Structure 1
Amino acid sequence: MSVALDAVRAALRGEAAWLVGGAVRDRLMGRPLGDIDVVVAGDVRAAARHLGLSAGGPAFPLSDEFGAWRVMGPDRAWQVDLCPLRDGSIEADLGLRDFTVNAIAEPLGGGPLLDPHDGAGDLAAHRLRMVDPRAFPDDPLRVLRLARFACELGLAPDAATVAEARAHAPALERVAGERILAELTRVVSAPTALEGLELMEALGVTAAVLPELSALAGVTQNRFHHLDVYDHTLAVLQAVIDLEDDPAPHVGDEHAAAVRAHLATPLADELTRGQALRFGALLHDIAKPPTRTLHENGFVGFPGHDTGGADLSRTILTRLRASERTRAHVADLTRHHLRLGYRVKERPLDARGLHAYLRACDPVQVDVTLLSVADRLATRGDNAAPAIAAHLELARQVIGPALAWPAWRAQPPLVRGDVLARELGITPGPALGPLLAAIDEARYAGEVADEAGAVRYAAGVLAEG
């Protein structure tokens, strides 16, 4: 990222411009430099185009209303946002920012830092403090950003900032869903995500942006659980985070590298599959409150919370303007998160059992297997130790075939549907689907290997009725 900073300094030499926000803060903290924000006193459009031309990357407007421009480095290696100076001076501009640690400016042409609100002092004290009480009513999203910065940077908000943020948390209901999702993703993706979520709950943020998650608090479960649904959900999320850090104890040394690579794969909405798995952990039991059932014997159950949770998670992510791929992915995680547990008594699964599980969970067969492990590890009521051991035994058997499943699924079929219909003397139609599925299962089990064998096998299925 120093390449980007060098490019900015070279292109804007002679301009009245300042490095501001996270770039200054992160350099003071010794953190890797992320995206760069620059305030320009002159013509922002001209400065952005000049930077783009000199650096060899595109420049484009971000906002007609605020006059901001973005420049991307070659091959999108870096990103610089250029904004116009507000209220006539850099000091006044800094006074409009959210937190003191983000209200420090460094002149691009050199010179001492401009720090009118003692953001450097707050960094040294590990403190997160608002610049002005107007920060939150000016933009209620800053209440959620407070939780995000706290967990990402390891800073503790001071009492006055907490009180002001809490007072304006309800206004988050009026903030655009995509802005909420961007900040929530940062919280959920942080190594200390649970601290961020706990601060969100304390500030009243969760009630405003994820009321369904707040509704899990106090929902008691059966004797196989040691936590209510809310605390269990956080425990599952922590188990997912731990699994991301070191999958080997749960999936075996031979699959750990492949699992890490899988979780690092981009999915959608700038989420990796690992980040999406964290959302799956947050939402996997989201339908437990409306499905909670007290049976005559006093046992508490949640019938249908998996399928109901799939629908509810989709509703939530639609409200947050997530892409269809993210909505479908998290809904599938929720829908299938119990499936491996249902098969524990059948372990070890034979080839047909493996095929049935993988086919049912496709395309989240790896992800939901990991979610089921995290869910099981976070469930420590009666009979926990043997139940966890049995579940992990099955998960270790399944994870290798789950990783290999996409390559298996990509193979051409042994026989096309029209050819099968002709060979069997049947009319092409819906009846072909079950026959082709039966052939695929038999192929996975090693019982058929070519077109002729597939036709004979299908003929036998038909003969059996």
Structure 2
Amino acid sequence: MSEALEIARATLAGETAWLVGGAVRDQLLGRDTDDVDLALPGDPKRCAKAIARASGGTAFQLSGAFGAWRVVGPEHAWHIDLVTLRDDDIVADLAARDFTINAMAEPLAGGELVDPHGGRADLERRLVRMVSERALEEDPLRSLRAVRIAVELGLEIDPPTGAAAARHAAGIAAVANERVFGELKRVVSADAVRRGLAAMEAYGLTQVVLPELTALHGIEQSRFHHLDVHDHTLEVLDAVALLQRDPAAAGLDDAVRTLLAEPLSDELTRGEALRWAALLHDAAKPDTRGEYQGRVTFMGHDVAGAQLARDVLGRLKSSQRLRDYVAAVTLHHLDAGFLVHERPLDRRIVWRYLRATQPYSADTTIFTVADRLATRGDNSGPAIEAHLEVARELLAAAREEDAAGPPKPLVRGDELIKEAGVPAGKQLGTILAQLEEDRYAGEIVTREDALARARELAR
């Protein structure tokens, strides 16, 4: 039994309350859940406050229109949603729910399963089936939710439900973008993400929630690519997923898996956030496609793509950190590839790469490997090996810098003004940056070296 369910049962002992929705479904599947839904007669505020007091959690109202309350446990370890029972009748309440596998209930204190729509049988059949099409009419986001549930639980969507999802897909445009992102990010994070994206496209959902992906169909690339931009994007997504679970299979070490498992933002790990970079890194290619001397080009798609990524994630109401992260990776996703032609890399080249890509140097480098693995046109074998050589070196440098932290400057800016005659202003910042590079390159070591170099630069 989950902690959330234990707390709810202990706190609301003696109350009339029904365990409903996903928590019932997950119990039948043998899955633990930290997300519990309760339906109660009357206003759930009192019960929410009681659970919060008993657990040390926080209670707050979710929706004034429907009277829903949420209790979030300490350190966000779990949450319990409490809603008013429709018409004080559990059968009427379940009839208004989205899918049969979510339209089951049992008394919170324990008792017989209430399953008027055959949810248990559908679970055994591994099927997502709507209770009624009216549910999708009332909330079109349920069309996307059907896909999310199917990919997370390894279920199939029954054909009439899929057809209804397609009929109501356009209605998602009127749904709050925060809610759309809540479902979409779970599809993108799922192990079966490719199956989820295929279902979204089949039902017309992608065109509504992520039209930038649909726009990549049929955008042909140069001879160094074996796929159009859309299918290349999906192969980059596959490569990111591979790096999350088995980086050795892609030629990198296991420290990559540890890094990509770290939390980043929006309830996403770094690896899950890199999946968004995969989806958006080439999204500006349709607008930048051109030809030069008979060769297809996409000049500036990195810069334009970074802004487009910000715009897309801004539309979806993601956090600023996620926007910054995906935009930074998109902006610099070509940089490591250019360095293949600079081998062997000297320390100045590495330094400039690290400065350009900070604070996400390691993440960006890992992403370039995914992008390179998904580019298998002419000369792809040697190109991939050369890229991996560069990427390993850049990753080692990024890790070394992250572990050491920022070094104490050999000399401060005010000291340069006093002792080296460097004027305050833009030149001072330029010289300080150059001294950092020179130090990384091993050309200056002491404070006296730094002052002498500064005097030289200031002439």
Does the pair score TM above 0.5? yes
Unaligned runs of 5+ in 2: none
Please report how far the alpha carbon of residue 156 of structure 1 lies from its aligned counterpart in structure 2 after TM superposition: 0.8
1:330 is the counterpart of 2:321: no
Distance 1:323 1:77 in 2: 20
1:410 is the counterpart of 2:406: yes
SS of residue matched to 2:151: helix
Q: 2:301 aligns with which of 301, 305, 316?
A: 305
Contact 2:169–2:203 (CA under 8 A) maintained in structure 1: yes
Which has the higher mean CA deviation after the structures are superposed, 412-421 or 116-125?
Answer: 412-421
Which has the higher mean CA deviation after the structures are superposed, 45-54 or 67-76?
Answer: 67-76
Contact 2:422–2:458 (CA under 8 A) maintained in structure 1: no
Change (3 A) 1:197 1:131: same
Residue type of the alignment partner of 2:99: F
SS of residue matched to 1:344: helix
Please report how far the alpha carbon of residue 153 of structure 1 lies from its aligned counterpart in structure 2 after TM superposition: 0.9
Unaligned runs of 5+ in 1: none
Alignment of 1:190-205 (within 5 A): 190-205=190-205
2:279 alignment counterpart: 282
Please report how far the alpha carbon of residue 141 of structure 1 lies from its aligned counterpart in structure 2 after TM superposition: 1.0
1:171 is the counterpart of 2:171: yes
SS of residue matched to 1:62: strand
Contact 2:2–2:34 (CA under 8 A) maintained in structure 1: no
1:41 alignment counterpart: 41
Which has the higher mean CA deviation after the structures are superposed, 46-55 or 221-230?
Answer: 46-55
Q: 2:260 aligns with which of 244, 259, 263?
A: 263
Residue type of the alignment partner of 1:456: A
TM-score, length of structure 2 as denominator length = 0.96
Distance 2:291 2:125 in 1: 50
Distance 1:70 1:109 in 2: 20
Deviations 1:200-233 (A, max 9, x none): 1111111011111100011111111111111110
Residue type of the alignment partner of 2:31: R
Deviations 1:46-76 (A, max 9, x none): 1112222222322222222211111223343
Contact 1:373–1:391 (CA under 8 A) maintained in structure 2: yes
2:243 alignment counterpart: 243
1:133 alignment counterpart: 133
Distance 1:360 1:55 in 2: 46
1:211 alignment counterpart: 211
Please report how far the alpha carbon of residue 269 of structure 1 lies from its aligned counterpart in structure 2 after TM superposition: 2.0
Alignment of 1:444-463 (within 5 A): 444-463=440-459
Q: 1:356 aligns with which of 352, 356, 369?
A: 352
Contact 2:244–2:261 (CA under 8 A) maintained in structure 1: no
SS of residue matched to 1:431: helix
Deviations 1:431-462 (A, max 9, x none): 01211111111111222233222111222333
Please report how far the alpha carbon of residue 408 of structure 1 lies from its aligned counterpart in structure 2 after TM superposition: 4.8
Alignment of 1:9-88 (within 5 A): 9-88=9-88
Contact 2:422–2:454 (CA under 8 A) maintained in structure 1: no
2:120 alignment counterpart: 120
Q: 1:374 aligns with which of 370, 381, 384?
A: 370
Distance 1:165 1:3 in 2: 34
Q: RMSD over aligned Cα, in angstroms? A: 1.5
TM-score, length of structure 1 as denominator length = 0.95
Contact 1:217–1:230 (CA under 8 A) maintained in structure 2: yes
Contact 1:136–1:143 (CA under 8 A) maintained in structure 2: yes
1:344 is the counterpart of 2:351: no
Which has the higher mean CA deviation after the structures are superposed, 43-52 or 233-242?
Answer: 43-52
Please report how far the alpha carbon of residue 44 of structure 1 lies from its aligned counterpart in structure 2 after TM superposition: 0.9
Please report how far the alpha carbon of residue 30 of structure 1 lies from its aligned counterpart in structure 2 after TM superposition: 1.9
Please report how far the alpha carbon of residue 409 of structure 1 lies from its aligned counterpart in structure 2 after TM superposition: 5.3
Distance 2:75 2:423 in 1: 53
Residue type of the alignment partner of 2:320: E
Contact 2:4–2:34 (CA under 8 A) maintained in structure 1: no
Which has the higher mean CA deviation after the structures are superposed, 309-318 or 259-268?
Answer: 259-268
1:187 alignment counterpart: 187
1:438 alignment counterpart: 434
1:387 is the counterpart of 2:386: no
Distance 1:385 1:395 in 2: 15
